[in-house]
Amino acid sequence: MNIPVLVIKLHGRRVGMLFEFAPENAEPIIRFAVDEAYAREAFGAEPVLSESFRAAEPAQQQSFWLNRVSPGFNSVRGLRGDIQLPAFFQNLLPEGTFRKHVADAAGIDPANNFSMLAACGRDLPGAVTAEWENIGKAALQDLVTQGQDALEVTVWSEPFQDAISISGVQPKLGVNRDADGRFSGRTKHHDTAIIAKLPSVEYPRMPQMEDLCMRLAKLAGVDTCEFELADMKALAAGHRYDLGEEVQGRFLAVTRFDRGPAGRVHFEDFAQVLGVSPENKYSQSYLVIAQTLLDLPGCGVPAVHELLRRIEVNDLLGNADMHLKNLGLLYRDARQAELAPAYDLLSTHVYLGTQGHALALLEEGKPDRKAKDDHRKPLLTPQSVLRFTSALDIPQKQVARMLREVARQAAATWLEPIQSADITPRQRRVLLERLGNHLHIRQAINALKNPVLAAAWDAALQTPASPEVYQPRLAGF
């Protein structure tokens, strides 16, 4: 019997093992078994693996870790019937086009989740690694059966482990910048410090549009990651993507906040935090995220305000993709969580005409359910903000004041960057129409009482529509 095993480490320290076991006449089981040495440590005393692995009470933490049948430690059946890794580990895998890119390079089946984790195991998001080790037959038997039954097992051959895992479906590469300003591929001795988000055949000027949206968010007060546009000519790393005419364009170089001069910084997205599989990243609600932030000592009310600021900015931009995997926690000191900087901000409305929101504001079944479905209305209204803040028991007036300031900053500072951005005339027109017709922007322009600014917005909206014809070839990101 072949039983593959990956040793899971956090900041280089072994915390457990992930193994796949196929009992006779039964579907495979993928299980995470925590090492007893790690389990004996109080949660938070040692580097934190995931908030989803926190017991209800500190006294229960050790028994929580050692309960191998816990749902959070075991495989689940996906929506397509596939056997998935435990949610925390499933969310470490690459997605979409990039997943196929990794599988092709590794010579493995992209549908095999365990093999995909093995292929990317040395360069995963955050400070987690999943590496192959020959642990020996005796240790393997004890791991699988806990000494209860004898197994005739064979040792798993070492898999390819030189890939990098990056979430999201856009074409991308892990790179580093050399002294000459060139972006080259990762070597075996250095982590990738930069994610190169490449142009797309299906979505023209996507790097330029994301750069613009990120810059607009920053102008409105959002805490963003570091990013910059770079010419494709500066990309020295090879790839197999068909970029069409966009190969002569530009890419977005995003500095990884989970890598730094002192080494890896642990990170987990909110799908991991909430124990949700990637295919359910549009479940839950922003309220659930806010409640989690409020309970974390390193986050609290300021992090909830930042979350609401991002919700408002995404609503203005028409970004319907701020799902659970596009929000996360960062552990700079390895123990205390903070809200990670914003990343992956893009106006999906410009490309797909979407005007909705990735998540509900309040839990499903709450009074705002009908309002959530009316995508013509802002997600954050005085009524919904009142319900949101009341549910969290935080001051409503502070939030309302902050959101008005976000809209005013957008109205005062966004027009010039949009007009000068290297995007297509149609994209510019669609984005300006979205903003110019948004209730909060109109209210902000009136509140600013700046005739020159109001005239500039009016002039921008009266620009004749471009004859450019654009039809995206895909239905989603």
Structural domain boundaries in the chain: 5-145, 172-260, 263-407
Residue 199 near residue 206, CB atoms below 8 Å: yes
As a whole number of angstroms, the distance between CA 470 and CA 447 comes to 36
Residue of 75 and 101 predicted with greater confidence: 75
Q: Helical H runs in 172-318?
A: 206-219, 270-273, 286-295, 300-317
Confidence class for position 353, pLDDT limits 50, 70, 90:
confident
Residue 107 has pLDDT above 90, yes or no: no
CA distance 278 to 266: 19
pLDDT at 155: 47
Please give the mean pLDDT across all residues of the chain.
87
> What is the 8-class DSSP label of residue 315?
H
Query: Is residue 71 helix, strand or coil?
Result: helix
Contact 265, 330 (CB under 8 A): yes
State yes or no: pLDDT of 476 exceeds 60. no
Determine the pLDDT at residue 368: 43
- Mark out the alpha helices in 133-265 (DSSP H runs): 137-145, 206-219
Residue 243 · residue 97 · CB < 8 Å? no
pLDDT value of residue 30: 93
- Give the amino acid at 337: A
pLDDT greater at residue 146 or residue 291: 291
Residue 48: name the closest of 10, 86, 6, 91 by CA.
10
* Token digits of residue 381: 């209204």
CA 116 – CA 93 distance, rounded (Å): 7
Report the C-alpha gap between 176 and 187 in whole angstroms.
Answer: 9
What mean pLDDT comes out for the span 222-251?
85
Q: For residue 109, which amino acid is it? A: D
The pLDDT tens digits of the residues spanning 189-205 come to: 578 899 999 998 888 99
Position 101, amino acid: H
What was the pLDDT predicted at 467? 47
Beta bridge partners of 339: 329
- Residue-level pLDDT at 166: 64
CB 67 within 8 A of CB 86: no
Inter-residue contact 310 to 339 (CB < 8 Å): no
pLDDT confidence band for 304 (50 / 70 / 90): very high
Instruction: Decide if 132 contacts 162 (C-beta within 8 A).
Output: no
Q: Where are the alpha helices (DSSP H) in 322-420?
A: 348-352, 369-373, 382-392, 396-413, 415-420
* Spatial contact of 194 and 253, defined as CB atoms under 8 Å apart: yes
- The backbone torsions φ and ψ at residue 178, rounded to the nearest 5 degrees and listed phi first, read -90, 180
Average pLDDT over residues 224-243: 86
- For CA atoms 96, 264, 228, 463, the dihedral sign is positive
What CA dihedral angle connects 292, 294, 300 and 302, to 10 degrees? Answer: 90
Q: Of 140-149, 247-256, 456-465, give the lowest mean pLDDT range.
A: 140-149
User: At residue 241, what are phi and psi to the nearest 5 degrees?
Assistant: -80, 140
Q: Is 239 exposed, middle or buried (0-12, 13-18, 19+ CB in 10 A)?
A: middle
Secondary structure (DSSP) of 15-31: EEEEEEE--TTS--EEE
CA distances from 266 to 113, 124, 342, 443 (A): 22, 10, 16, 41
Mean pLDDT of 141-157: 58
Given a cut of 80, is residue 392 above it in pLDDT? Answer: yes
Which DSSP state fits 465? P
First-to-last C-alpha distance (Å) of the chain: 40
Task: Choose between 67 and 43: higher pLDDT.
Answer: 67
Burial 249-282 (b: 16+ CB within 10 A, else e): bbbbbbebbbbeeeebbbbbbbbbbbbbbbebbe
User: What is the rounded CA–CA span in Å between residue 361 and residue 371?
Assistant: 10
- The pLDDT assigned to 179 comes to 85
- The DSSP symbol for 228 reads E
Indicate if the pLDDT at residue 240 is higher than 90: no
